[in-house]
Amino acid sequence: MSFFKKKIVLVSLFVLLAISVSAIAYVNGQSKRDVPIHNVVNLSANSLTFHEIDKLDAFAELIVIGYATENFKDREHIITAFDDGTMQSFHTNTNIKIDKILKKPDDFPSDQNKLTIIEPISLEGNVKYTVNDYTELQKGDRSVLFLMKNTFGDYGLINDNLGKFSLEGITQYSVPQSSTAQALSEYETFRNSVMDKYNIQQVQ
């Protein structure tokens, strides 16, 4: 191979390498931007938790199949504090689209298809605050949601992570990542009983 041909080959390899490095850097940069990392602060609360679907069904005032219409970071995050700056309460107002109503109070319109619900979680800067390891609803993820109206007339999700069940199956957002194998098995059993009770066809 002549010196000229060798030079062309080397230049071609250099250009190809430069393009490859640039592409990898771009993809990595895109991935980091699309997957924000939060510092999670979990707080414990003595909330009433049901482990049987019939009891949860009887307690809930409104049960729907619906999904969040916005990404978590784009929702309205509410954090209140006492006069000394100590955190008092927090929650997130989540807008949902209702596909089907499974149970409702008499004063809830049968044709209502939009609702703002309260989730026991919030976001402030890069810090995510949550109660009892609750994981937020994911945008577009159709789920069975168990709700109850608070003293201000707003519907809130109840029963922590056992108050929302994705029709897509069990995902990383169904239960905390720290869940034990037993807790995951119990969640799966509970979810199956929810799907059976309301005759819901699960997404395969």
Rounded Cα gap, residues 120 and 47, in angstroms: 11
Per DSSP, 138 falls in state P
Model confidence over 105-148: pLDDT tens digits? 999 999 999 999 999 999 999 999 999 999 999 999 999 999 99
HEC sequence for 164-203: EEECCCCCCCCCCCCCCHHHHHHHHHHHHHHHHHCCCCCC
Q: Note the pTM of the prediction, 2 decimals.
A: 0.80
Between these two residues, 94 and 5, which has the higher pLDDT value?
94
Rounded Cα gap, residues 158 and 171, in angstroms: 19
Rounded Cα gap, residues 128 and 135, in angstroms: 10
Rounded Cα gap, residues 20 and 131, in angstroms: 44
Indicate whether 23 pLDDT > 50. Answer: no
Give me the residue label for tokens 């999670």: 40
Q: Which residues contact 126 (CB under 8 A, 6 or more apart)?
A: 36, 37, 38, 39
Closest CA to 55 of 200, 196, 194, 203: 194
The amino acid at residue 17 is L
| pLDDT band with cut points at 50, 70 and 90 for residue 36 | low
Angle CA(80)–CA(150)–CA(116) in degrees, nearest 5? Answer: 80
Question: Is 130 in a helix, a strand, or coil?
Answer: strand
Mean pLDDT within 84-106: 96
Mean pLDDT within 12-35: 39
